[in-house]
Each structure stands twice: as structure tokens, then as C-alpha cells.
Amino acid sequence: MTDTQWPVWEVFVQANPGIPHKHVGNVHAADAEMAIQNARDVYTRRSEGISIWVVPANSISASSPEDQGSFFEPSNDKPYRHPTFYKIPEGVKYL
Amino acid sequence: MNFIGIMEDEKKLAAFEAKIASGQKIEPKDWMPEAYRKQLIRMMSQHAHSEIVGMLPEGNWITRAPNLRRKAILLAKVQDEAGHGLYLYSATETLGIDRTELLDQLHTGKAKYSSIFNYPTLTWADIGAIGWLVDGAAIMNQTALARGSYGPYSRAMVRICKEESFHNRQGYEIMMHLAQGTPEQKAMAQDALNRWWWPSIMMLGPSDDQSPNSDQLMRWKVKMESNDAIRQRFIDRTVPQADFIGLSIPDKDLKFNEQTGHYEHGPINWEEFFEVIKGNGPCNAKRLKARNDADKKGRWVRDAAMAYAEKKKAKAA
Ligand SMILES: [Fe+2]
Ligand SMILES: [Fe+2]
Ligand SMILES: [Fe+2]
């Protein structure tokens, strides 16, 4: 049997209540429980978080950087999705 | 590779360099030249190894710290260094190499770590000197690296730098207390400074004439500043700190140049530095053995944890 450094888990930490979990890095661990404990020791030694998510690294699928342009293109030609697209007369309030 | 392939790569290289020049970070899945990837793996893994080998000289004093406050602080500091090692190994893994291989390189002596950790910690004052000088020098280097182009490395550096300032201060505080203590305590602090000063300024790497900075590494923002520039900044900041607590820097040629606003230092014994790098420092063999022993003795724990996790999973299924 080859030496094991355990599978990799990506770590997401929520810094404060009411804000999203943010990716902070990863840890190696045998299972989810150990991954959460290791993540606490590695990424929250100075009260950086109140909640931790761990996800097996090989379960994450990502968009590919080469296709970045064409992949996100569809949103570029829809300026009417932004409020600044619309001209509202000076005197109109709360709009 | 055919002609079209070469043209493709040149286009990618130009885009890569333009991205870096504009201050954007390179992320793991982005295209990068092989030389960039290789150089980063080498640098980042050396850095990771330095963090964990660096735990050994300090760990040596945890059980003998002079009081509970100092012991708790030293424990927290050494734990931080383990954390730094982990951030850096995980950042290195994003370049497509796994931790088992990186650790193998360390344990077989194929990979290097910082020369400084091959010196012994003989007295408690050495713990002060390490935090003040060694972590202080590392901060100079790491704040520069935090501006580097590779996203995961740069982010790890930002995080590490935040934690290092506690390391630096607790070390200075140890030195300050000793320097203000009995004549014996002050002598112990001075002795530690005498032994750690030169290795600390050497750890920032060979002088620029011996290690010409490749334009490419600078352009790729793998290296941000020359060794001598970082060393100068470290000396300029540290000398007044020594003066303040009445300790003297063991360099009879050290003088402040009013014109340049910098300290000038005496000749550095590079022969010693290269000997230590080659493996002939006072503690190289001891450090490597400690790492290898820890790895071997920990093996059954890693295997058992994995077997247990698999058994639990099978039961749940
Ligand atoms: Fe560190
Ligand atoms: Fe460091
Ligand atoms: Fe440190």
C-alpha cells in the first residue's frame, strides 16, 4: 500500500452571520469530520469564522478559464439588465 | 510540436505576460509556461518545508519555557508555523504535484529548506532571537512575495504575513525582558544575538552579484525584489531595535550612512552559507532525521484513519 496523505477537501468559511461562506483553501483529511476539525485548526485560529463547509475537492466542477470570454459573453450584450440603461427625468424621485 | 503549435504557445505566452504586467493574478487552471510552473513548485515547496522544519528548533524549548505565559505563546507560535506549512503545501498542490511527492523530496534531501533552521537553539534567548530576527527577516521576504503573480501563493503570503507580526513581536519581547534583566540574562540575550545575526541576514539568500536575478522571474513576478534589497531593508529596520534595548549587533563594520540613509554592513561569510546549504551546517543531519522519524512514526496513524473512514463509509452505504 502506498503512503497516504489523505484526500483533499476544499474549505469554505463564513466569517460572520449573514454573509456567504468564502473559499479559504484546502486540507487533507480521512473523512468529513476530520476535514472540519483540520480546517478549524488551519484556517480559524484567530476567530476568522463561525461556520465551516468542507467539500471533497474531486466533487467540484469548474468552468474553464480558456472559455472565459465566450462563456460569459451572453451577459455583455444585455445592458438593459442594469438600471443605468434607463434615462429617468431629473425631477422623478425614488426610482 | 508543429509550427502551428509553436505559434499557439507564443500567443499564449504573450497573453500570460500581458496579464501579469497588468497586475492580474495567474490562477491554477490558467495556461502558464512550464518554466513558471517549475520555478514556483521549487520556491513554494522550499518555503513550505522551511515552515515545518522551522518548528524543530523552536519546539526544542516548548517544555522548558520559563513560565506558563511564555509556554502558551511558544506553543501558539509553533502551531502557526505548522499552519503556514499547510497553506503552502496546499498552494503548491494547485500546480499539479501532490503532497506525498513534495514530502518525499524533503525527506530524501532532494528539496531544500531555509539555511537558518540548521542552527541549534542553545538557550531560551535563542527563542527570542528567532522570533525577532528570523521571523523578522522572513516578513521582509514574504511581504514582497505577497505581491507576486501566482494567486494561491500570493494569497497564502498575505495570510502568513498577518500572523508573522505576532511571531516577530513575541521574540522581541523575550529579548527586551532579558536585556533588562540581570547581567547574566542580558549576556544571554547578547550571546543569542551574536549567534543569530549573521545567519539571519544570510537566510535572505546570496548577494545579487552571486545570484543574478533573471529578468524573466522578475517580469513574471515570481521574484519581486533582489536579495540584497530585502536584506538592506531588514538591517535598516532591525539595527535601531537592537539599539533600543541596549544590545549590540555583532558587526564591527556596521555604520549608518547619513547620505544614503542606510546602514552599511561588514562582509558576509558566504562560505558558511553555502556549506550549510550543501548539508554541512551544525544541525542538517539532525533536522532531516527528525522529519524522517516523524513521517515514519506517523504512517500507521494515517493508514488507520483512512481505513476507519473507509469502513464507516461502507457501513453507511
Ligand atoms: Fe511561518
Ligand atoms: Fe515563513
Ligand atoms: Fe513565523
Q: For residue A61, count other CB atoms closer than 10 A to its CB.
A: 5
Q: Which ipTM was obtained for this model?
A: 0.86
Are B306 and A42 inside 8 Å of each other by CB? no
Of A3, A26, A62, the CB nearest to B29: A62
DSSP string, chain B: --HHHHHHHHHHHHHHHHHHHTTPPB-TTS---HHHHHHHHHHHHHHHHHHHHTHHHHHTTGGG-SSHHHHHHHHHHHHHHHHHHHHHHHHHHTTS--HHHHHHHHHTT-S---GGGGS---STHHHHHIIIIIHHHHHHHHHHHTTSSBHHHHHHHHHHHHHHHHHHHHHHHHHHHHHTS-HHHHHHHHHHHHHHHHHHHHTT-S-TTTSPPPHHHHHTTSS-S-HHHHHHHHHHHHHHHHHHTT---S-TT-EEETTTTEEE-----HHHHHHIIIIISTTHHHHHHHHHHHHHHHHHHHHHHHHHHHHHHHHH-
Mean pLDDT value across residues B184-191: 98
> Residue A64's pLDDT is what?
84
Whether B1 has a pLDDT exceeding 60, the answer reads: no
> Residue B2's pLDDT is what?
66
Show which of residues 59-118 on chain B sit within 8 Å of chain A, judged by CB atoms: 76, 79-80, 83, 86-87, 90-91, 93, 98-100, 103
Query: What mean pLDDT, rounded, does chain B reach?
Result: 95
In the three-class reduction of DSSP (H, G, I as helix; E, B as strand; rest coil), residue A44 is classed as coil
pLDDT above 90 covers a percentage of chain B that reads 93
A46-71 pLDDT, tens digit each: 999 999 999 999 999 988 888 888 88
> Residue B102's pLDDT is what?
96
Residue B168 C-alpha from the chain's centroid:
13
Of A4, A34, A65, the CB nearest to B29: A65
- Could you tell me if B35 lies within 8 Å of chain A, comparing CB atoms? no
Mean pLDDT value across residues B125-136: 98
Query: What mean pLDDT, rounded, does chain A reach?
Result: 91
| Whole-angstrom distance, CA of residue B122 vs CA of residue B76 | 21
Show which of residues 23-62 on chain A sit within 8 Å of chain B, judged by CB atoms: 25-28, 30-31, 34, 41-42, 45-46, 62
> Residue B3's pLDDT is what?
66
pLDDT above 70 covers a percentage of chain B that reads 98
Nearest chain A residue (CA) to B301: A4
**Selection from B123, B177, B280, B90 nearest residue A10 by Cα:** B90
> Residue B8's pLDDT is what?
82
Mean pLDDT value across residues B134-161: 96
- What does pTM read for this prediction? 0.92
Ligand closest in space to the Cα of B84: 1
Ligand closest in space to the Cα of B114: 2
Nearest chain A residue (CA) to B84: A42
Ligand closest in space to the Cα of B82: 1
